[in-house]
Structure 1
Amino acid sequence: MDVHPAREAARRLIERPAFQWFVIAVILLNAAILGLGTYERWMSEYGTLINVVGWCTLAVFVVEIALRIFAEGWRFWRGGWNVFDFVVVAIAFVPSGSASGVLRVLRVLRVLRLLSTVRSMRTVVAALVTTIPGMSSIALLLLILLYVSAVVATQLFGTTDPEHFGTLGQSLLSLFQVTTGDDWANVVRAATEEHTWAWAFFLAFVVLSTYIVLNLFIAVAVEALDREVEEDNAELAEEVEQAVDDSTATILAAIADLKQQVAALEARLEVPD
């Protein structure tokens, strides 16, 4: 199917590295403007300028989205990142008012357009999404470990240290704090001072929860990232190969057209072979 010349020109424009870097620069500028908008002193002195620059960056986003919709047509809505970009930009046009205050605050999400614009960030996000099934199983394993350990800790140390292990809820919170390493020494001090064998319980819990279960999260994430990088490299190689094929086809078509013109010119001049 033939592509309209205007759409082809728009597609080539948005795929140019210079255009993509320009969009990234505008996103960073918009992020700075959103940050400056939280300072009353800056807004009182330069509020008009900040608002003007903010609307200018929004205009760039609208033009860019419009170009992408025009270039890709209905295929634009098949890409998850495209829909994300459209929604993030559309939020800026939510009318002012108390009922829409939350949506207006969400305009800061325009900064997240870096995730869809920078290829490496898209790869990381895609890798995190693919890890959800594996991480769900590991999270369930960690939850079971926390629950069983909390029940045991409540029965063993509830009387000794009711502040941390008096109830099942307090034990769950305390053991989760131990898992994260946040001031864990003060959490276990009362129990270990009263019971000399308590260190064995907490040591076993830390080894199982932190050094085994949490490292499983890291292993799953690294494996998914490696797999996503390989797929991204394969996709990039296909894009380069397609671009080379398109360029070759264009050159061959130009050569064939040139041959026809030369043949026509020879026939007109009646030049013998």
Structure 2
Amino acid sequence: MSSSDTAAMYDGEGSGSVAAKDTISIPQARGSERQSTPSSNANKNNLVGDYDDNSDDSNENGRKERFWEYFAHFRHFCGDLVNHPFIDKGIILFIIINSVMMGIATFDFVTENPDIEHDFETVDKVFLIIFTIESALQFIFHGFNLFTKGELVFDLVIIVLSWFAEDLQIIRAFRVFRVLRLVTRIDTLRKLVSALFSVLPRLSAITALLLLVFYIFAVLFTALFKDLPLDERYFNRLDLSLYTLFVMMTMEWAGVARQCMEYHKWAWAPFVAFIALSGFIVFNLIIAVICDAVAVIEREDEEEVSIADQQDERVDELSKKIEGLLKNQRELQATLDLLSKELYNLQVTPSENPTSANITNNSDPSPLKITSTQVGTY
């Protein structure tokens, strides 16, 4: 075999090997492509799953936000409804009517007639339902902040006890205390209650003085009149003496004093001393303190009114000043409009005159020479 044949054979084998390699590599590449397709599909599926999860979470968050938004609107609607002046006055009217009916229900013509008593109980049940709806609306509006308002808590407790303890007459009778809500609606009562609470620190000293007077005279009366055979046991013990002195402080002391004077002619002296100290001095001090507190509240109200009046006067003065400034502005604007028209006329008139046009269009930079005719034109 010649060298050329050997080279040809070598070339043929080489080309065949290359072709074989090429024919083998193509299926492998296609197989690799087929093998990579499931993994890419899996990645795509994972991405789609993550997108679905995110979309589900966003939808869930959107539903929650819409729910709380609707609930907030509902809360504000309940608050506007239950605190509306018309509804508030209606509830006050129902409280007054219910309180009056509870008083009428104690008369014999109601208690001795089962039909009338049943009608009263039915009407009372209707009022209880109305008050329950009101408390429910208040709870929806205020939430747990309702328990920070004493008035609303008292109403809620009375209503709950009324539903769960209908057979207990004492619980039903406590509903009459709802009429105390009128205190916050009437200005005079509100001022009086505010005055009472404001004078409590000063009343503590007067109360301590009154208790001291009570104790001294209770010991004195027990020692002086303990052994007297009176109709009642007025001064046999210290506690009985304190109770008797409290009754005497209400000016019911003449009968007790006369019984003691039957055995001791001088018995009137300690009675008069106690009445003078407790009834005339201490109580007058209490009344004076309360009146002073009411006067202070009245002065505060007058000061608030005067401050409001001063603010109204300042607002009126500022309104007048603003009106004057607006008037001056309108006059100034009219003057500016007139001046602008005059300037416009001065600019338009020379452009219409041919002589002035020649002067304007003259390109000679030398000084302008205006003749007498042109001056007359201007």
Matched pairs, number: 228
8 Å Cα contact 1:116/1:122 also seen in 2: no
Q: Tell me how far 1:114 sits from its aligned partner.
A: 2.2
TM-score, L = length of structure 2? 0.50
Equivalent positions of 1:185-224 (< 5 A) are 185-192=254-261, 197-224=266-293
1:210 partner amino acid: G
Q: How does 1:128-207 map to 2 (within 5 A)?
A: 128-158=196-226, 161-163=228-230, 164-165=234-235, 168-182=238-252, 184-192=253-261, 197-207=266-276
1:44 corresponds, among 114, 118, 131, to 114
Structure-2 residue corresponding to 1:106: 171
Moved over 6 A (4+): 228-236
RMSD, aligned CA: 3.6
Paired residues of 2:249 and 2:278 also in contact (CA < 8 A): yes
**Correspondence for 1:72:** 142
Alpha-carbon distance between aligned partners in 1 of 2:176 and 2:235, rounded to the nearest angstrom: 43
SS of 1:38's equivalent? coil
Identical-pair percentage: 33
Mapped pair 1:92 → 2:162: yes
List gaps (5 residues or longer) in structure 1.
237-273
Letter of the 2:99 counterpart: A
Q: 1:109 is matched by which residue type in structure 2?
A: F
Partner of 1:115: 180
| Distance in structure 1 (CA, Å) of the matches to 2:237 and 2:143 | 59
216-225 or 67-76, which deviates more: 216-225
3-state SS of paired residue (2:106)? coil
Q: Which has the higher contact order (CA 8 A, sep 6+)?
A: 1
The amino acid that maps onto 2:135 is I
Cα displacement (A) at 1:194: 5.6
Closer, same or farther: CA 145–74 of 1 in aligned 2, 3 Å: same
Alpha carbons 1:157, 1:191 under 8 Å: kept: yes
CA distance in 2, matches of 1:234, 1:113: 33
Offset from partner CA, 1:223-269 (integer Å, 9 cap, x none): 45556677899999xxxxxxxxxxxxxxxxxxxxxxxxxxxxxxxxx
| C-alpha distance 117-234 of structure 1, shift in aligned 2 (>3 A) | farther
Deviation at 1:125, TM superposition (A): 4.5
